């Protein structure tokens, strides 16, 4: 997690100060993930990190600065462990498959402490003003990787076309179900079977998405009208 460690500001601090920063970021990540930014207290974080109350202001300025540092640490760890970029020379189909596998591992927290994925999920459903940072530094670049693969598969010149955007939303939405909707799936009795791995889910999502994109490409350049159809209003 080299880049993850670099995500924590050190200001050329001695080793003991850098260690204090790391303990604060990791303790804060746990507390913020459990309680949310608004309910988490600096006192609880410092107690969990084993440092005095002044340490947060000294190292991060305030609670918001520490929250941003925790998010950036988590994002850097995700990029280190599960890069969404496929190896150079991969074709568009392999780039999409690679993206889905990386995204599923990121969302399900493979290889990282549980608080990483939980903190990011909380920021998605109960956003703070740090969401802009998350989008600019992690989500937008990742979305661009997917959009370029989808545009190539659809034969689109622009990654901003409506067909590309809708297809990307479909791919990401399938992944998000397994991060945000598991309680509902369990109540429905439609949760993945015991022993199903992130890789198993990613294989299904990638295959399903590629088939759908292939079908869209065969239908040509007609842009779907969102909201139109049998559920879009009165038929005439």
**Domains present along the chain, CATH in parentheses:** 2-7+14-75 (1.10.10.60), 83-219 (1.10.357.10)
Provide the pLDDT confidence category of residue 39 given band limits of 50, 70 and 90. Answer: very high
- Asked if residue 152 lies in contact with residue 210, where contact means CB atoms within 8 angstroms, the answer is no
Section 73-93 average pLDDT: 97
pLDDT at 126 over 80: yes
> What's the whole-model pTM score?
0.85
Provide the pLDDT confidence category of residue 53 given band limits of 50, 70 and 90. Answer: very high
pLDDT at 123 over 90: yes
Q: What is the reported pLDDT for 110?
A: 87
DSSP collapsed to 3 states, the chain: CHHHHHCCCCCCCCHHHHHHHHHHHHHHHHHHHHHHHHHCCHHHHHHHHCCCCHHHHHHHCCHHHHHHHHHHHHHHHHHHHCCCCCCCCCCHHHHHHHHHHHHHHHHHCCCCCHHHHHHHHHHHHCCCCCHHHHHHHHHHHHHHHHHHHHHHHHCCCCCCCHHHHHHHHHHHHHHHHHHHCHHHHHHHCCCCCCCCCHHHHHHHHHHHHHHHHHHHHHHCCCCCCCCCCCCCCCCC
Min mean pLDDT across 5-14, 65-74, 128-137, 159-168 is at 5-14
- What is each CA distance from 103 to 78, 97, 106, in whole angstroms? 9, 10, 5
* pLDDT, tens digit, 9 for 90 and up, residues 135-184: 999 999 999 999 999 999 999 999 999 999 999 999 999 999 999 999 99
Sign (positive/negative) of CA torsion 105, 111, 116, 117? Answer: positive
pLDDT at 87 over 80: yes
Section 198-227 average pLDDT: 87
Section 26-54 average pLDDT: 97
pLDDT at 31 over 80: yes
Q: What is the reported pLDDT for 117?
A: 94
On average, the pLDDT of the chain sits at 90
Q: What is the reported pLDDT for 18?
A: 85
């Amino acid at each position: 997690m080299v880049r993850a460690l670099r995500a924590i500001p050190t200001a050329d601090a001695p080793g003991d100060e850098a260690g204090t920063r790391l303990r604060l970021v990791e303790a804060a990540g746990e507390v913020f993930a459990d309680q949310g930014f608004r309910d988490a207290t600096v006192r609880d974080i410092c107690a969990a990190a084993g440092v005095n109350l002044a340490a947060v202001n000294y190292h991060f300025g305030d609670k918001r600065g520490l929250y941003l540092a925790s998010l950036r640490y988590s994002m850097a760890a995700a990029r280190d462990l599960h890069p969404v970029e496929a190896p150079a020379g991969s074709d568009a189909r392999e780039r999409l498959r690679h993206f889905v596998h990386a995204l599923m591992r990121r969302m399900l927290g493979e290889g990282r402490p549980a608080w990483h994925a939980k903190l990011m999920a909380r920021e998605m459903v109960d956003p703070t003003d740090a969401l802009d940072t998350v989008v600019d530094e992690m989500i937008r670049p990742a979305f661009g990787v997917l959009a370029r693969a989808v545009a190539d598969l659809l034969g689109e010149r622009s990654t901003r076309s409506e067909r590309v955007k809708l297809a990307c939303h479909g791919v990401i939405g399938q992944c998000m179900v397994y991060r945000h909707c598991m309680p509902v799936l369990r109540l429905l009795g439609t949760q993945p079977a015991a022993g199903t791995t992130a890789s198993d889910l990613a294989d299904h999502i990638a295959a399903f998405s590629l088939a759908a994109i292939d079908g869209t490409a065969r239908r040509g350049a007609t842009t779907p009208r969102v909201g139109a159809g049998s559920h879009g209003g009165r038929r005439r």
